[in-house]
Structure 1
Amino acid sequence: MKLRYLHLTHRWLGIGLGLFILLWFLSGLVMLFVAYPQLTSAERLSHLDDLALQQVKLDVAQAWALTGKQGEPERVRLAMREHRPAYYFLQNGLWLSVWADASPNEHIQVKSVQDKPIKDKSNETAKAEATRIAEQFQGNAKAMAVTLINHDQWSISSSLNEHRPLYRVALDDAEASELYVASHTGEVVLDTKGTERAWSWLGSVIHWIYFTPLRMEREIWRQIVLWLAFAGVVLTSLGLWLGIQRIRFNRRYSHDRVTPYRGWARWHHIVGLNAGVFCMTWLLSGWLSLTPFGWFSDRSLSAEESARWAGAKLTVQDMKLPLVSSTANRSLTGIKEIEWLRFAGHSYLLTRNEQQESLIDPQSGVPVTSFSAAVLQAQASKLGAYGAVASAHWLSNGDLYFNQDAQITPKVLRIAFADALNTTYYVDARTTKILASQDSNSRVYRWLFNGLHRMDIPPLGDRLLARRITIFILSAGGVLLTVAGIVLGWRRVRRKWS
């Protein structure tokens, strides 16, 4: 009797969830090759002019004063926009921009030095400016339409909240590009292409159930995906248990069969026994990625840790630019963007282009060489009550918990502590940035999600082709299993209706 109830539960869960799970498998295969649209840092920087420091006339403190904001900005960047240098200030979750090429000695109105945000201009002027910015960013393309939006299907990410509302500019290039321009700063913050959008409808949107009206209600969306995935775990666990119960290798069924089923049911049984464990763990890992009940998650750096790593609060008075000398010119050649940071109580310029990041001394303009392990360990020991550093090792190819691109971050120091959670930090010795941190909780999450969901396990971890082939084969088993289940479920429902 109990087995009958288990069969009925498995059957009706399958009828209700079969199509969802099939779409999860198929969309996951699409996502192996096409990611959700985003503008990477390298892409963004590649479209910027080289930074022209000789054009900068306002220092950071003067530019910040023009914003009329109180307190200190959380981040400050300097880059070119429309062939002019501009400061970008982040405060209270919103980016602001001030032109950097107006002379501080000119007695002119603030509003003429600090251009109004695009959104505060007349509708036609704002659209014209967004059009000009997008066309300059993309190159040989003309704008066809400009729309002011808060969110759409491709701009849902919370990382864009700092720039909203956005101007979406559709271009007439061969790739059917659409660029998103921040209304407060005039920066291009997202780009999408026609093929990318089309494939993402079949991949990321379906896989994450990423439909705009639902995704806007984040907690409702999370609960729906969470419990659909959990029901899928129950479905596959029951199916695997029942499949094992029905298989016979010794006392076989008639005609020497190991399964009592025929047709689609036979396929469902045999494939389920072979692919069932993968299907169950894949759905389980997807469920755990949403941190049910606060279980396992990635570790992120806290605000307190960031402050301790900096050593002191960075103020606009501390943010200096090197004098435009021959030394500074050599150091800053080919630089696309500067951001100010503090490490161990000292201020530095973090310079960027599309290939790399590096540090420069703001006084001399001379590049800063990599920091020693001793210096990094000494500052890491101030991050928390972890006790002494247990070990510190240089990495050249990452480890099981940190993926390292040796061309971008060739010198990474892994600093481990002997605290209860075995806290570990991964530090870029050239920029002093903490690239990642791990503890016992996040390590479990790494294996449960990256390992089971993305097959990021030895020896597949750094072998992309082998990992994709493995995922494709396992997913093909999941597709066949769910298709057979859907056929059986449809037949059952059709008999009920008739």
Structure 2
Amino acid sequence: MTDRAKQWRKKAVRAAFLIHRWLGIGLGALMLLWCLSGMVMLWKPWPQPDEQLARLAHEPLRFDRPPVLPDLHGSYRQFRLVMAGSVPVLQVMDDKAESRNYDLRTGQILGPKDIYPDPAALAEVAGRYAALEGETVPPVFRGLRRVDQWILNTKGHDAGFYRFDFDSPRHTILYLSPLTGDVVQATTRKTRFWSWLGAIPHWLYFSQLRRHPVIWSDTLIVLSGLGVTLTTLGLWIGLRRFRVGRRLSPYRGTHLIHHATGSVFGLFLLSWILTGFLSMNPAGLMAHKPSPLWMSQWRGTLPASAVEETVAALTRVPHQSFRDILALPGVHGTRLLVTDAEGNPQRLDLTLAPSPLTASELVDTMAQTGTAAEVTLLQNDDAYYFSTHHKRRVFPVFRLIGKDRARLYLDARSGEALLRIDTAEKGSRWVIYGPHDLDFFSWLREPDARLWIILPLLCGVSLICLSGLWIGVQRCRHRRHSPARLDRATRNRSGRKPRRHARS
């Protein structure tokens, strides 16, 4: 190696040390915060409403007077009938997956520019949900909210949700869709407390930042990208500083702790920060693609007349108590996915007789619509559809695997679509979310694994960040009080070089 090459090599090594040092000073606190908040999220996730209670919050569908059906034309993917408080609502989804809602008392469309159901009526829905959670006080309406802290990641928040507060020790806050009365978010004083220690700092989900999606995303991409650089340089420097002999490390004190923990846990820290960076889809690298067409086409479509048939079937048997009715196409005619008075899902035909979904019916339906997929009945987890500490999956399910290897999971009781996994999401599962959550295997998803494997690893990477932060703080204090810095400060104040006193 020539002298010039050696000189450039020394400069590059020096630059790497300086970049690692100053990135550590700038990002140390944030990296530590990400690690500590990750510990909280092992047991306390972002709050979500209970799906079963959300179904039970709706009144059973009823028509106090003959329903007024809107004038519909064309074909539709599905129809939904539900009570938004005391208002019977029809929700239609066309073949482009665009939804519209109608008040069946008048046949008028419901929407931001038209008419919303009365908030007082939806207060009954909020009260029923909260009562099932243990609340005993009435709800207080707080208006239509679009940018509250707890709904910024909820689909449809741009149109706004009705907020209801409960003045009780639990201090429950509920958000309801003003169009359908669905409970879309539910928080309590306890879940909000843990979110401020866990999910909010971990995802930088502060409402002042999160309400600007592009700025929020770019901020996370830049900060996590710098974190990847910091960690990669740290691993490289740590390897360079290893010695062969009695002492493996040249460091002492806090520097030794930082070197040792970085050597043991550094790869886990790099994995977590790198997968967090990739989850933000930098430069569109991990962009999600639209679901494959076969997932939306395999059922076929419903004619507009199916609404009349469904309403007629329900009014013929008025004593039935269904809290939610979803009409979907089937190979043998329209099928109804209903939620009964106890909140249990059922699949019925238009005579309201049970019509359980079968594998042969799925195959016949796909043959009729010109689609094809492998059909398997699952009783337990697979690699993509599995239960975790935070979410219990429904079983049994039908798994449909298309020719593109994308997957669709259907509730075997009702036929409801539970999960869609396209090819891009399959890749993300193994490249991003599997390494980030460390849930590749069923035993890793058990509570004991969280406690005895994941938590110690998080403690190890937290110690890397804590020791690095302490080194950075000490470095800044040393620079602030160094003799050269004090001399410069004195010179700047007096305008002349400070006089040196003779030694006695």
Same fold (TM over 0.5): yes
Q: Which residue of 1 aligns with 2:499?
A: none
Residue aligned with 1:210, SS: coil
Superposed displacement of residue 202, structure 1 = 1.4
Superposed displacement of residue 81, structure 1 = 4.5
Residues 357 and 413, structure 2, Cα contact 8 Å, conserved in 1 = yes
**Structure 1 residues 496, 75: CA separation in 2 closer, same or farther (over 3 Å shift)?**
farther
Superposed displacement of residue 158, structure 1 = 4.1
Superposed displacement of residue 479, structure 1 = 1.0
* Residue from 362, 382, 385 that aligns with 1:399: 382
Q: Which residue of 2 aligns with 1:261?
A: 251
Letter in 2 for 1:283: I
Q: Which residue of 2 aligns with 1:359?
A: 347
**Structure 1 residues 153, 314: CA separation in 2 closer, same or farther (over 3 Å shift)?**
farther
Matches within 5 A, 1:72-91: 76-82=79-85, 85-89=88-92
**Structure 1 residues 75, 203: CA separation in 2 closer, same or farther (over 3 Å shift)?**
farther
Q: Which residue of 1 aligns with 2:58?
A: 48
Distance in 1 (CA, whole Å) between partners of 2:420 and 2:211 is 30
Letter in 2 for 1:7: F
* Residue from 235, 240, 258 that aligns with 1:240: 235
Gap runs ≥5 in structure 1: 103-109
Residue aligned with 2:79, SS: strand
Q: Which residue of 2 aligns with 1:460?
A: 443
Superposed displacement of residue 368, structure 1 = 0.8
Residues 58 and 125, structure 2, Cα contact 8 Å, conserved in 1 = no
Distance in 1 (CA, whole Å) between partners of 2:273 and 2:174 is 35
Q: Which residue of 1 aligns with 2:396?
A: 411
1:98 aligned to 2:103? yes
Gap runs ≥5 in structure 2: 1-9, 482-504
Superposed displacement of residue 24, structure 1 = 0.8
Superposed displacement of residue 14, structure 1 = 1.0
Superposed displacement of residue 399, structure 1 = 1.1
**Structure 1 residues 384, 291: CA separation in 2 closer, same or farther (over 3 Å shift)?**
farther
* Residue from 274, 287, 302 that aligns with 1:284: 274
* Residue from 160, 177, 181 that aligns with 1:182: 177
Distance in 2 (CA, whole Å) between partners of 1:231 and 1:296 is 19
Residues 72 and 316, structure 1, Cα contact 8 Å, conserved in 2 = no
Q: Which residue of 2 aligns with 1:13?
A: 23
Residues 386 and 393, structure 2, Cα contact 8 Å, conserved in 1 = no
Superposed displacement of residue 160, structure 1 = 3.1
Superposed displacement of residue 211, structure 1 = 1.6
1:167 aligned to 2:162? yes
Q: Which residue of 1 aligns with 2:452?
A: 469
Q: Which residue of 1 aligns with 2:299?
A: 310
Residue aligned with 2:49, SS: coil
Superposed displacement of residue 228, structure 1 = 1.2
**Structure 1 residues 432, 133: CA separation in 2 closer, same or farther (over 3 Å shift)?**
closer
Residues 85 and 181, structure 2, Cα contact 8 Å, conserved in 1 = no
**Structure 1 residues 377, 229: CA separation in 2 closer, same or farther (over 3 Å shift)?**
farther
Residue aligned with 1:311, SS: coil
Residues 32 and 462, structure 2, Cα contact 8 Å, conserved in 1 = yes
**Structure 1 residues 349, 467: CA separation in 2 closer, same or farther (over 3 Å shift)?**
same
Q: Which residue of 2 aligns with 1:38?
A: 48
Distance in 2 (CA, whole Å) between partners of 1:439 and 1:177 is 36
**Structure 1 residues 393, 171: CA separation in 2 closer, same or farther (over 3 Å shift)?**
closer
Distance in 2 (CA, whole Å) between partners of 1:494 and 1:83 is 66
**Structure 1 residues 305, 183: CA separation in 2 closer, same or farther (over 3 Å shift)?**
same
Q: Which residue of 1 aligns with 2:194?
A: 199
Superposed displacement of residue 18, structure 1 = 0.9
Superposed displacement of residue 320, structure 1 = 1.2
- Higher Rg: 2
Matches within 5 A, 1:330-345: 332=320, 335-344=322-331
* Residue from 211, 225, 231 that aligns with 1:216: 211
Residues 73 and 90, structure 1, Cα contact 8 Å, conserved in 2 = yes
Residue aligned with 1:336, SS: strand
1:56-94 Cα deviation digits (max 9, x unpaired): 6545xx3334xxx98777653223344664434568866
Distance in 2 (CA, whole Å) between partners of 1:274 and 1:381 is 55
Superposed displacement of residue 378, structure 1 = 5.0
Distance in 1 (CA, whole Å) between partners of 2:382 and 2:270 is 27
Superposed displacement of residue 225, structure 1 = 0.7
* Residue from 464, 469, 483 that aligns with 1:486: 469
Distance in 1 (CA, whole Å) between partners of 2:323 and 2:437 is 34
**Structure 1 residues 63, 34: CA separation in 2 closer, same or farther (over 3 Å shift)?**
farther
Distance in 2 (CA, whole Å) between partners of 1:438 and 1:190 is 24
Superposed displacement of residue 242, structure 1 = 1.2
Q: Which residue of 2 aligns with 1:107?
A: none
Q: Which residue of 2 aligns with 1:106?
A: none
Q: Which residue of 1 aligns with 2:487?
A: none
Distance in 1 (CA, whole Å) between partners of 2:103 and 2:285 is 43
TM score, norm. by length of structure 2:
0.79
Residue aligned with 1:42, SS: helix
Letter in 2 for 1:293: A
Residue aligned with 1:320, SS: helix
Distance in 1 (CA, whole Å) between partners of 2:416 and 2:257 is 53
* Residue from 123, 129, 138 that aligns with 2:130: 138
Q: Which residue of 1 aligns with 2:146?
A: 150
Superposed displacement of residue 203, structure 1 = 1.2
Q: C-alpha root-mean-square deviation of aligned residues, in Å? A: 3.6
Residues 456 and 467, structure 1, Cα contact 8 Å, conserved in 2 = no
